[in-house]
């Protein structure tokens, strides 16, 4: 006759068994939520991963400058127009510069966006006025400023729109 063995479990063994069952259940729920989300929310579970990737070629805009390197351009004489791209008249100022650039003997015009974080320290606050050029470290620019650079040094600093129109005529 076979003897029947009775298994006795201690309380610790019962608690460990419960913990493992809860842990496995939790893992199954998390994996289920992951696949549910992939299948019904993002809808990419059943799509093939062999989709063709789209790449965008980077381009460098040589007409844009930052204040810190505006004196280091390759030409000996050029203009730098500093203006805020969020200004309502931004496109008007750009049009003035574009018309000038289309002329036969026009100097190169670079644009500095005062809204760019790299140019932030050169922007005059509302209570400040744009100043005449003394040094790059002390420079404060207003809503629109036209700077003429000759041989790596500022030769003209114009902040009035009428004077800028005359200069770029």
Other CB atoms within a 10 A radius of the CB of residue 168 amount to: 21
CA dist 80 → 64, 108, 111, 127, 131 (Å): 9, 8, 6, 24, 16
57 in a structural domain:
no
- Residue 84's pLDDT is 82
Are residues 45 and 84 part of one domain? no
pLDDT at 28: 97
Please report whether residue 15 resides in a domain: yes
Residue 113 maps to a domain: yes
Angle in degrees, CA 32, 37, 42, rounded to 5: 155
Residue 59 within any structural domain of the chain: no
Co-location of 40 and 72 in the same domain: no
Does 4 map to a domain? no
> What's the confidence (pLDDT) of residue 32?
94
Residue 160 lies in a domain: yes
Number of domains present in the structure of the chain: 2
Provide the domain limits for residue 33.
10-52
* Confidence at residue 24, expressed as pLDDT on a 0 to 100 scale: 97
65 bridge partner residues: 112
Same domain, 71 and 29: no
For residue 113, what are the β-bridge partners? 83
Residues 46 and 70 in one domain: no
Encode the chain (169 residues) as per-residue pLDDT tens digits. 667 777 778 889 899 999 999 999 999 999 999 988 888 888 777 776 555 667 777 766 666 777 777 788 888 899 888 888 888 888 888 888 888 888 888 888 888 888 888 777 777 776 566 666 667 777 778 788 888 888 888 888 888 888 888 888 7
């Amino acid at each position: 006759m076979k003897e029947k063995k009775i298994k006795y479990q201690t309380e610790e063994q019962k608690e460990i068994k419960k913990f493992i069952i809860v842990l496995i259940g939790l893992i199954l729920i998390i994996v289920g939520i992951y696949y549910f989300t992939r299948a019904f929310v993002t809808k990419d579970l059943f799509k093939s991963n062999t989709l063709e990737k789209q790449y965008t070629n980077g381009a460098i805009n040589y007409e844009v400058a930052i204040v810190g390197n505006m004196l280091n351009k390759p030409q000996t004489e050029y203009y730098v127009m500093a203006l805020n791209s969020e200004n309502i008249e931004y496109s008007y100022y750009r049009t003035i510069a574009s018309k000038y650039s289309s002329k036969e003997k026009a100097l190169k015009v670079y644009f500095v966006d005062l809204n760019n974080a790299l140019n932030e320290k050169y922007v005059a606050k509302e209570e400040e006025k744009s100043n005449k050029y003394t040094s790059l470290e002390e420079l404060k620019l207003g809503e629109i400023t036209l700077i003429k650079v000759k041989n790596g040094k500022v030769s003209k600093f114009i902040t009035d729109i009428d004077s800028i129109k005359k200069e770029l005529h």
